[in-house]
A and B are shown apart, each in its own frame.
Chain A
Amino acid sequence: MITFDGVTKRYADGTVAVDDLSLEVPNGAITVFVGPSGCGKTTSLRMINRMIDPTEGRILLDGKDVTTVDPATLRRGIGYVIQQAGLFPHRRIVDNIATVPFLLGWDKKKARDRAMELLERVGLDPKMARRYPFQLSGGQQQRVGVARALAADPPVLLMDEPFSAVDPIVRTSLQEELLRLQSELHKTIVFVTHDIDEAVKLGDTVAVLRVGGKLAQVAAPADLLSDPADDFVREFLGRDRGIRRLGFVPAKNLALDPAPEGVTPEGHGTFNPARDSLRAALDASLLSPDGLAVAVDDDGRVLGVVGQAALVGAARG
């Protein structure tokens, strides 16, 4: 667990980047820091691995004040991924990934083996290992960045807008990849972004910061969307909050009616109650001429239907 305890950062020129931040980042989950440009997200993140030291307050990593730990030692135990990937241009991909194992003095072969394993883990072709960073696309470089951060298997991962420099399609696939990795690895991740959609998609918890470095709200994504703490958060969340919130409500509790004669998945929108959200069910209903969303199981068998009135009722809670 990472604990921010009354943390303030005032830069030499007087700028208050982070103002009295108190927050707990739970282990094994993704906590997203989100907010407009200049609200102190990067500063907050960098205080965790001591690239910046707080002016006031303390940051505890599993109960231990980080300022009592030697910075280099601390950092080797914390993965770090940034926007431009920050790969070393003069090192081959495999050696980029093995950076921290090398620093930790692992045997060369063991470090490279580990790097190869991670290369595959993040979905890259092992052929890429011998390339240099400039021979990779932006999305591939980001994957290498993630692999490098994971190389020494640190319990904590800090990610500063890691996916914001790639195009939307690549971004989506990187996000899914991260969620897939996290479901296997259960790291303690602090993820910084200015994109609220990314925040609600990835975060188990979302912390919204406002300019001036003040914490506006900390909540699970669904709660954030349904109960913004104030006008700033409401405005930051943007439009369609109601619809977007439905994305976090599982469809499995919907009461299904028996499918009327002649209603088939063809010509109707469908959803899978076992894995889809209420948002998907509503979307399915909007795609059907008669307004009936057809529930199907993994094998495509029809389980029943649900009408728009029932969906709206479920959406109200």
Chain B
Amino acid sequence: MHETFYDVMRRQGITRRSFLKYCSLAAGALGLSPAFAPQIAEAMETKPRIPVLWLHGLECTCCSESFIRSAHPLAKDVILSMISLDYDDTIMAAAGDQAEAIIEETIKKYDGNFILAVEGNAPLDEDGMYCIIAGKPFVEQLRHVAEHAKAIISWGSCASWGCVQAARPNPTRATPTHKVPNMPDKPIIKVPGCPPISEVMTAVITYMLTFEKMPSLDNQGRPKMFYSQRIHDKCYRRPHFDAGQFVEEFDDEGAKKGYCLYKVGCKGPTTYNACSTVRWNGGLSFPIQAGHPCIGCSEDGFWDKGGFYDRLTDVKGFGIEANADEIGTTAAAIVGGAAAIHAGVSVVKRIAQKGDDA
């Protein structure tokens, strides 16, 4: 018989009490009512644990770093024991051929029944040559494993949108999971962020394992429970925004008083993520709380939206970089100037014409 999650946890020395506590916390994190805690517990006690293959393409490992820091007291132990992270080249013990063999073994044993977690993305230029795993382009490994997976999790902004390696001009044509050509048709869940919040990552996995289905997703494929509101909607500095109290410079009085960071480029109003509610490092803080504007790291193409410290985005393609107001005032000045000149000429013409008529 397969080991259940619960068996594994008990084996790891987690008490039943701690286990039940985890189940109710998980229900909370998932936005489910406490009544779901027993359901989670039951699922964990009876279901065989599901293997996860965690592949790495072009990435910086910040997703893994975030994941293993899940500060939820038990998540670290629970999640790591709960999913059998059969293959994760950053944290597994095996190396070389041995490591690669695990992939084939998992595919054979759990064909169509394991979860593929993708961190990073695949560069497509030069036949994928810019990211080689075990002597082969990453994109091939990705397609191959996806073929046999039950579902795919795109961890972080790399796998979800492209992130820094896909920023203009995207020299290697780094491509997020859902846009890789010839990918087998598998459900993909995006968990964007650079990195995503660890509690969000663990909660997503917990949900998929206990309910054996995807959490409900928005039309861009992100789990609704964590990505349906903007940072700005739940930001604790929001009252200062509504009042019109802004940090104008990082060392001014407003900065000391914790005013809103909108004018120093905060992207909270355009960023969907849970930072202002779940926060980071066990709910300790998040960028805005530390006095820094949100840079919008969970949004598509956030590297290409102008400076992190500018509220308005620079628009390229006008010869020089300019924001909407600079372009607009120039256009309005030209139109206004043209109207003034036209008016002047009209008057002169009219006078001349009158002269002719006389």
Q: Do A and B bind each other?
A: no
Task: Mark A residues whose CB is within 8 Å of B.
Answer: none
Task: Mark B residues whose CB is within 8 Å of A.
Answer: none
